[in-house]
Every structure is written in structure tokens, then in C-alpha cells.
Amino acid sequence: MRRWTAIAVLASCWVTLLSPTVSLAQQEQPETKRKVINRVVPLYPEMARTMNLRGNVKVEALVATNGTVKSVEIKGGHPLLVQAAENAIRKWKWEPAGHETREPIEVKFDPH
């Protein structure tokens, strides 16, 4: 009897640990697609142009309720292109919303 009780307790603990949870941060900052009302085109870095470098930079922008960018988190991309993308995105403006949002962005660089 003790063995079955122990197995039942372990199984319920296992189910509790594996069940998906929503963190408080996700509740406070939902990920949505707000409309961009002012998009700034990044300056193509001269060194990247010389190297004929092309590629994409993926970022996630934390957008305040008034539509301004609070922070930019780099998710991937060539190091020569990252700074140009971040500088441009910091100047972007979104439509106002009732809460902060995280906006996924992909910036494409092509020297041609």
C-alpha cells in the first residue's frame, strides 16, 4: 500500500513539474503585432558594403505604451549588421497601446 501511495505522489509531482506555466513577465508584457507608424531604415555599414555582406538581423523590441522603444534585444545576425539595425529600430514608433509589448523584427541587409 505504501508503495502505491509513493508512486501516486511521485506521479502527481511529475505532472505538476511538467505542466506548462505562464510567467509573470509574460503576463505583464504580452507579445503582439502593433502597427508601426514610423519606420527608420538602417544605414548600411560601410565595412559590410565593402565586404559585399548581406544578411538578416533578428531582434525583439520592448515597446512602451506610448509607442516608443524601451529596449532592443538582439536575437541573431551578423555582428557587422547588428549595431545598424539596433540604432534604426530605437528610432521606430508604434501606435499607442494599453500595455507594453514585445515586437519581433527582422531587418534585411542587401548591398544591391
Domains and their CATH numbers in the chain: 22-109 (3.30.2420.10)
What is d(CA 14, CA 17) in angstroms, rounded to the nearest whole number?
5
Region of poorest pLDDT, from 30-39, 75-84, 90-99: 30-39
The structure's pTM equals 0.69
**pLDDT exceeds cutoff 80 at 7:** no
**What is the C-alpha to C-alpha distance for residues 10 and 89, in angstroms, rounded to an integer?**
49
pLDDT in tens, 86-110: 999 999 999 999 999 999 999 999 8
Nearest to 97 by CA among 72, 75, 68: 68
pLDDT of residue 26: 32
**Confidence band (pLDDT; 50, 70, 90) for 85?**
very high
| H, E, C per residue of the chain | CHHHHHHHHHHHHHHHHHCCCCCHHHHHCCECCCCEEECCCCCCCHHHHHCCCCEEEEEEEEECCCCEEEEEEEEECCHHHHHHHHHHHCCCEECCCCCCEEEEEEEEECCC
pLDDT of residue 18: 35
Mean of pLDDT over the chain: 79
